[in-house]
Chains A and B, each alone.
Chain A
Amino acid sequence: MVLKKLIRNPISLIGLIILLGFILVAILAPVIAPLPEDVLARNPNADPYRIPRYGFASTPTPPSKEHPMGLTEGQLDIFYGIVWGTRTAFKVGLTVISISCLIGIIIGSVSAYIGGKFDEIVMRFVDIFMSFPFLIAAIVITTILGRGLENVMLAMILFRWTGYARLIRGNVLQVKQDEYVMAARAAGVSHIVILIRHILPNTIFPVIIQASMNMGSIVVTAASLSFLGLGAPEGYADWGQMISYARNWILGAPGNPLAYWYTVVYPGLAIILFVLSWNLIGDAFRDIMDPKLQG
């Protein structure tokens, strides 16, 4: 039913179509961009997230028949990187969102439901987390734990849950005053069941909307951390990494500012479309999830 409404709304339909495209690309990555045969011949178990290399020249190579989006500096296949990078984007986005959302929802709702001094203490703890500048914290974490996507995700989870915790806490504080919560207690329903059956269904949707809108920004953050060299290892299929390979070529060549456009436009476009699709869907969700509008 939600899906039907998403499809009927032209804005969210566009978002949905773009997202569907990304999902297809992610699923079909081994078909769309298989590892070249010579790589497989050398190592049948080669990691498909390693972008194949076609030489060592430092100047990017423009698009051609074999490499439809061209090659980066160091001759990594851009098309291949974007296709497999879609998987990376989903992996990072979904992992960070689902874990940080889960942590935030549990901590925020329990804190608000218990209330009083307990809630006060938990929220001061959340404030402390929120007052850290994220980028510095991410640098510190990856310095301690080492470079890598997992550590970048860990850093993001560590600093993302607080937003969801706050959001759901505010909603729970309101809803727990509603008389149906009293009625459930009068009926003898246990606290945990009250939280799950009565409070969460009436407070969780704004958090889910927020989370879907954040999918894009998480992928952007992951990309910028990769751009800074904190995230994915060299040669890993990751959109941020692809852009970092374009770093020296964004300004083009003397007299021809557009000489290396393909190094930045394709990965940039992938990131922009990804963010856009989630935001469009999130906006539409907001309207749909209002219970008063439900038939």
Chain B
Amino acid sequence: MAVAKKGELLLDVRDLKKYYPITKGLFRKTVGWVKAVDGVSLQVRKGETLGVVGESGCGKTTFGLSLMQLIEPTDGKILYNHKGNWVEVNAKTIKGLRSEIQMIFQDPYSSLNPRMRVRDIIAEPLAANGVTNRTERYDRVESLLKAVGLGSHHMKRYPHEFSGGQRQRIGIARALSVNPSLIVCDEPVSALDVSVQAQVLNLLKDLQKEFGLTYVFVAHDLSVVQHISDRIAVMYLGRVVEMGDVEQIYNAPKHPYTEALLSAIPSPNPDVKDNKIILTGDVPSPANPPQGCAFHPRCPYATERCRTERPELVADENGHSVACHRAEELMLKGVDVGETA
């Protein structure tokens, strides 16, 4: 699965931060910050899928939107390998990179303008990126519709005439329209019926092969990303707490949070005893994260040191990184890759 392991880097994110101000009163005085993304560094290789996983509210969407410059990052650098040249992605350069980096959104009901026809929705990125000839755009839309499993008879329809899965296919066609290299998929199947999820995931896999796409694939649990990802980054409260190849993460997790997420994957084998590690308590507020290791209030292995000192993300010789004081001593329970469906 980790075929792309030695591949060329496409995206290099360095210490990315996005803090939202908390404002109060008539004059919107800033009284604090929501540290939605708090120092994320990671790399993505050409042609691979990086799964970004974490509970709701941990900053995955904010991370994805920052990559696209749809929100302005507070700090950090995003470097993109544009045909061999490294360019910094920022408010100025993003214009020229729109046809390189695209996004698939979470909610297929809110991501399509209800008053636009399907062909105009899909053609919009083309029109905005220099394809001025309408016939040319619509020709491309036709082939895109086929590529995502819809047909040219859908061209003139409106979004409300489609099911959730079909709408997501339209969203995928829109992202593909400008021939991007990198697609940020923000929980593209989480709003869909379970039966439809697999179809859309398979479509994304096929498209990746066909067009040589690179994915940053966001999900809120580890079951969805298992079969599509080459590598996984686990996020907690705006930070990456563990990152590695799929085998490393699933078979030999090093972070207690990853272990808990793995135990939550439903097992297809009913005889296997459910060893769910129930995470107690809610995710703490990113406006007021706990001292020390942000996971310590919910961690079954927490010690005194965890409450005061923040663990840094450290990589081992195999490129498996983890941010936990007790990573070396703990023997955490993984799952067999392939055991779960």
On A, residues with C-beta under 8 Å from B are 116-117, 120, 178-180, 182-190, 193, 197-198, 201-202, 291-292, 294
Contacts and interface: CB of A to CB of B under 8 A. Distances in A.
Interface in B68-117: 68, 70, 95, 98-99, 102-103, 105-107, 110-116
Given A117-B28, A179-B107, A187 B112 contact: no
25 contacts: A120-B26, A178-B111, A179-B106, A179-B107, A179-B110, A182-B65, A182-B105, A182-B111, A183-B103, A183-B105, A186-B68, A186-B98, A186-B102, A187-B128, A187-B178, A188-B125, A188-B128, A189-B124, A198-B113, A201-B115, A202-B114, A202-B115, A291-B160, A292-B160, A294-B158
A180 B112 CA distance: 5
B113 A120 contact: no
A291 B65 contact: no
A128 B323 CA distance: 54
Nearest to A187: B125
A143 B90 CA distance: 56
Contacts of A185: 70
B103 A186 contact: yes
A180 B167 CA distance: 12
Nearest to B113: A180
A294 B117 CA distance: 13
Contact of B128 (A120, A189, A198, A202): A189
A202 B28 contact: no
B98 A187 contact: yes
A39 to B, nearest CB: 53
Lowest 6 CB-CB distances: which A-B pairs, in order?
Answer: A187-B125, A179-B111, A188-B98, A188-B128, A179-B105, A180-B113
Interface in B111-134: 111-116, 121, 124-125, 128-129
B174 interface: yes
Nearest to B159: A180
Contacts of B106: 179
B26, B70, B110, B174 pick with most chain A CB within 10 angstroms: B110
Contact of A184 (B65, B95, B107, B124): B124
A201 B158 CA distance: 14
A52 B27 CA distance: 60
B72 to A, nearest CB: 12
B28 A187 contact: no
B171 interface: yes
How would you classify the secondary structure of chain B's contact residues: helix, strand, loop or mixed?
Answer: loop
Nearest to A124: B26
Given A116-B28, A185-B70, 4 more contacts: A182-B103, A183-B105, A186-B102, A291-B114
Nearest to B186: A179
Contacts of A120: 26, 28
Nearest to A183: B111
A183 B115 contact: no
A120 B160 CA distance: 35
Contacts of A116: 28
Contacts of B121: 180
A178 B110 contact: yes
Nearest to A181: B113
Contacts of A184: 113, 124
A183 B175 CA distance: 9
Interface string B1-42: 000000000000000000000000010100000000000000
B237 to A, nearest CB: 23
Contacts of B68: 186
A179 B125 CA distance: 15
A294 B129 CA distance: 31
Interface string B235-263: 00000000000000000000000000000
Contacts of B113: 180, 184, 197-198, 201-202
Contacts of B103: 182-183, 186
A117 B121 CA distance: 32
A187, A193, A294 pick with most chain B CB within 10 angstroms: A187
Contacts of B158: 294
Contact of B70 (A178, A182, A202, A294): A182
A180 B110 contact: yes
Contacts of B70: 182, 185-186
A189 B70 CA distance: 12
A187 B122 CA distance: 10
A182 B68 CA distance: 10
Contacts of A182: 65, 70, 103, 105, 111
A117 to B, nearest CB: 6
A180 to B, nearest CB: 4
Contacts of A178: 110-111
B231 to A, nearest CB: 24
Nearest to B171: A183
Contact of A188 (B129, B160, B171): B129
B124 A187 contact: yes
A27 to B, nearest CB: 33
A270 to B, nearest CB: 38
A205 to B, nearest CB: 10
Contacts of A190: 128
